[in-house]
């Protein structure tokens, strides 16, 4: 998949064993902290797509994500389905969170993930004009960890069975979505990192993963000799 911002990115075409772990809907005072502890333990980097109102509520947790060296993306302010709101409301959702994330990171955020993975062309155009790349996830790697009775073993098996170089994996770190319990996600995450490390995978941010693709494309360019 290329870098046209009007086409959401679901994976990155790289032969090397790089993967991006992503977490939606946080920050959360319970589960984000636990996830950060695990990521830190194994020196793994991840990307957190944050909901603006949750950053407002748990700013110190969001700051910890940043200080821990992870990447932060825009996941709107109120987590609406973008297909159900108008253009003005979409812009407002992105702008409100953009303002909060600039204060948090001191930089312009350039990654956006639509809530529920739901969007239309107009939403992509708005995000593009605001300087965002729209990031989804590899279809086979939606862990569905928000579902009731979803066990860590199910989450683990789905990831291990479907992972490939360049994959983007979807988890959730907020107790405000679905059944409100992310303890199974936390348990599965550590086991996933341990197993994939044994398989020589490296855990990078989404932006780092995109950079790997750019580097690959540069290497493929033919050498032009001047005669």
Measure the CA–CA gap between 28 and 57, rounded to whole angstroms. 9
88-107 per-position pLDDT tens digit: 999 999 999 999 999 999 99
Burial of 219 (0-12, 13-18, 19+ CB in 10 A): exposed
Quick count: other Cβ atoms within 10 Å of Cβ 140?
Answer: 15
- Residue 219's pLDDT band (cuts 50, 70, 90): low
Q: Which residues pair with 24 in a beta bridge?
A: 49, 172
What average pLDDT does the chain have?
92
Question: Annotated catalytic, 181?
Answer: no
Which of 7, 24, 79, 120 is catalytic? The answer is 24
Give the predicted TM-score (pTM) of the model: 0.92
The mean per-residue pLDDT over the stretch 198-227 comes to 74
Higher pLDDT, 186 or 175: 186
Q: Is the pLDDT of residue 223 over 90?
A: no
* Set 142, 172, 173, 181: catalytic member: 172
172 has catalytic annotation: yes
What does the alpha-carbon distance between residue 212 and residue 15 come to, in Å, rounded to a whole number? 10
Half-sphere exposure of 211 (CA within 13 A, CB side): 5
Structure confidence at residue 180 (pLDDT): 82
Interval 14-22 mean pLDDT: 95
The domains of the chain, with CATH numbers, are 18-220 (3.20.20.370)
């Amino acid at each position: 998949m290329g870098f046209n911002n009007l086409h959401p990115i679901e994976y990155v075409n790289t032969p090397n064993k790089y993967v991006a772990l992503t977490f939606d809907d946080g920050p959360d005072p319970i589960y984000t902290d636990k996830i950060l502890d695990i990521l830190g333990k194994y020196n793994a980097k991840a990307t957190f797509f944050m909901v603006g109102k949750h950053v407002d509520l748990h700013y110190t947790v969001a700051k910890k994500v940043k200080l821990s060296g992870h990447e932060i993306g825009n996941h709107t302010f109120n987590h609406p389905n973008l297909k159900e709101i108008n253009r003005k409301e979409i812009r407002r959702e992105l702008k409100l969170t953009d303002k909060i994330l600039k204060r948090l990171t001191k930089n312009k955020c350039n990654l956006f993930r639509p809530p529920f993975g739901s969007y239309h062309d107009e939403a992509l155009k708005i995000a593009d004009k605001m300087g965002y790349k729209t990031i989804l996830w590899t279809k086979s790697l939606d862990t569905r960890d928000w579902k009731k009775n979803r066990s860590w073993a199910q989450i683990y098996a789905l990831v291990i069975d479907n992972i490939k170089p360049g994959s983007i994996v979807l988890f959730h770190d907020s107790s405000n979505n679905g059944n409100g319990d992310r303890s199974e996600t936390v348990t599965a995450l550590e086991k996933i990192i341990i197993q994939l490390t044994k398989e020589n995978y490296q855990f990078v941010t989404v932006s780092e993963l995109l950079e790997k693709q750019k580097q690959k494309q540069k290497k493929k360019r033919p050498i032009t000799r001047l005669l």
